Amino acid sequence: MKFPNFSEEKKLWRKGIVYVIGVDEVGRGCFAGPVVAAAVIFKKGYKLDGGLLSKINDSKLVAPKLRKILSEEIKRKVLSFAISKVGISTINKIGIGKATQKAMRKCIMATIKRTTNQAKNRSLIFVLADGFHIRYIRGVGLSHQKGIIKGDQKSISIAAASIIAKVYRDKLMKKLNRKYPGYGFSRNKGYGTKYHQKAMRKYGLSDIHRTSFNLNKFL
């Protein structure tokens, strides 16, 4: 299996960038629940040296038990991290695309605030995002970011963010499963599996289903 690496980060570090922020989201395609984003900053020049973090990969390719272990280790080892979520009411109001970007902006700004005062110099900051650019990041702009297709399989910073976000959201969906039983949220995490579709036909839509997704066609 091919693992992500620091190649993108190293290019930026060599150019004088100090704070490379990797950001990713989880739950964009779900039928229910919030969208969650996470951002991480590794210390400039960080080396894996074959430790536990060398197992970091796209969160979908990491076993659940290892994901939880990695999530805690990432939080301990990175310079800064943040997690943000955008709930159902906002998703249904502005759409999942804008809601996802909002979640990403929130966690990026939080990581910047949690680093040293040097981070106020935005020329030292660069954002690596999974898939696409993120609009309206205050003080960063499009020139200091890069959208990478399948970035969570290429950049360790993005992959680390994806792991933190997924572990957080999976735990949240398990809690919601207790509040909204019958839909299988603890297993499907809100994605539109056959079981989930069958449950929607049986029970109708819950308060945490995304009505902006036109789910009535599944009822």
Q: What is the CATH number of the domain that holds 13?
A: 3.30.420.10
| pLDDT confidence tier of residue 152, bands split at 50, 70 and 90 | very high
pLDDT at 218: 87
Is 108:134 a contact under the CB 8 Å cutoff? yes
Is 30:190 a contact under the CB 8 Å cutoff? yes
The total number of structural domains that make up the chain: 1
| pLDDT confidence tier of residue 117, bands split at 50, 70 and 90 | low
pLDDT of residue 118 exceeding 60: no
Is 54:168 a contact under the CB 8 Å cutoff? no
Q: Is residue 101 part of a domain?
A: yes
Mean pLDDT of 53-63: 94
Is 124:17 a contact under the CB 8 Å cutoff? yes
Q: Is residue 2 part of a domain?
A: no
pLDDT of residue 136 exceeding 90: no
Percentage of the chain lying above the pLDDT 90 cut: 83
The CA distances from residue 126 to 4, 22, 119, 181, 219, in Å, are 18, 9, 11, 42, 44
Pairing of β 19-26 and β 125-130? parallel
pLDDT of residue 119 exceeding 60: no
Q: Is residue 131 part of a domain?
A: yes
> With the C-alpha atoms ordered 64, 65, 69, 70, is the resulting torsion angle positive or negative?
negative
Whole-prediction pTM value?
Answer: 0.94
Is 31:215 a contact under the CB 8 Å cutoff? yes
Q: Which domain holds residue 16?
A: 7-218
Q: Is residue 60 part of a domain?
A: yes
Mean pLDDT of 173-191: 96
Which tops the pLDDT comparison, 108 or 2? 108
Q: Is residue 46 part of a domain?
A: yes
Q: Is residue 1 part of a domain?
A: no
Q: Is residue 157 part of a domain?
A: yes
- Residue 97 has a CB neighbour count (10 Å cut-off) of 12
The chain-wide mean pLDDT, for the chain, equals 93
Q: Is residue 165 part of a domain?
A: yes
Decide: residue 219, CB within 10 A, 0-12 exposed, 13-18 middle, 19+ buried: exposed
| pLDDT confidence tier of residue 190, bands split at 50, 70 and 90 | very high
